[in-house]
Structures are given as structure tokens and as C-alpha cells.
Amino acid sequence: MAASVVDATIAELVVAAQGGNHAAFTTLYARFHRAVHAVALARVGAADAADVVQDVFARAWTRLDSVREPAAFAGWLMTMARHRAIDRARARGGGDAPEREVAVAPAPTAEAAAALRAIRALPEAYRETLLMRLVEGLSGPEIAERTGLTPESVRVNLHRGMKLLRERLDPQAATGGTP
């Protein structure tokens, strides 16, 4: 284990949290909550997404001992987040439709809401990655660490997703610009 939880690797934090270390789990939350929020926001509105984040981490805390391989924590957490967000979306009566309500205070502008709708209409891999980048402010390498994906996959998802998003937000500019 590193000298402090701040310097610890994710695997070290997971092992410590499995042993009941609250500080380690809080550090895991600090590193992952935005990625989990992005996964939820891809499927439900902002108010529900915030609930999903807390729900996911409460469940993660109680079920952490089921993570056999600490290095697999990121993928395990993201899978749980997807399932919980889908459950929440279904509870709202919308099946697994990607477009959910948006509700935060202050309310987003019409332009922001339109951009969010366009992102939610993208394929899932692009949708989540772009939300992590554009909403949560994570860089490509940070997204790779948070999701367990390879940096190459994240880079491809970001660029292909962004290309699609540009086309949908401004079809004329996209056809006239560089691909």
C-alpha cells in the first residue's frame, strides 16, 4: 500500500476498502464518481443520474468483497452503473430508450439540452465516452483508467463519437469540413 490513499493505485485502494478502510473507499469515489455519473447520464436525467451514483457506490461498498481481482474494479463498477441506470430508466417507464429527462438547478440552456440529446442518440460506446469527456471533464487517459478500456479504444471512441456529434449538431458544417 502506498504511503497515503492519495498516492495509492486503484488495486491498492480496492484491497484496502475490502478490508473496511473508509478513507480508501472515499478515494475510490473521488476517482470514479464522475465516470459513473456519465454512464448514468447516458441513460437517465441529471437528477436521477445523481441518485444512481450514490446507489452504485452504496452497493459497491456492501459488495466489494465479490471483486476477486482488484484490477478489474473499474469494469465491475461501470457494469454495475449501467445496470442500475437501466433499472432506473425502466422504473421511469421509458424502457431502455436513451433519451431521458434533464433536471438540474439551474436548468441547462436549450443549446446544452440539444447537445445532450444528440450525445444520447449516439451508439452507447461513443455516448458514455463523450459524456465523460465533455460533461465530466475527464481526459482520454483518465477515461481509460476509469473504464478499464485500453487508451486506444477510448481514443477511437472519442474521435468517432465526436465526428458523429459534429454531423448531428451541424450537418452542413460537417459535410463541408474535414472528416
Site for other proteins, rule CB under 8 A: 20, 22, 25-26, 29, 33-34, 36-37, 41, 45-51, 53-55, 57-59, 61-63, 65, 92-94, 97, 99-116, 133-137, 139-141, 155, 158-159, 162, 165-166
Please identify, using beta-carbon distances, which residue of 7 and 152 lies nearer to other proteins: 152
Please identify, using beta-carbon distances, which residue of 41 and 80 lies nearer to other proteins: 41
Alpha-carbon torsion (167, 172, 175, 178), positive or negative: negative
Residues 100, 89 contacting (CB under 8 angstroms): yes
Least distance from other proteins to the Cβ atom of residue 179, Å: 14
Least distance from other proteins to the Cβ atom of residue 154, Å: 8
Least distance from other proteins to the Cβ atom of residue 102, Å: 6
Taking Cα atoms as reference points, which of 118, 144, 143 lies closest to residue 132?
143
Residues 148, 75 contacting (CB under 8 angstroms): yes
Quote the cell numbers at residue 124.
452507447
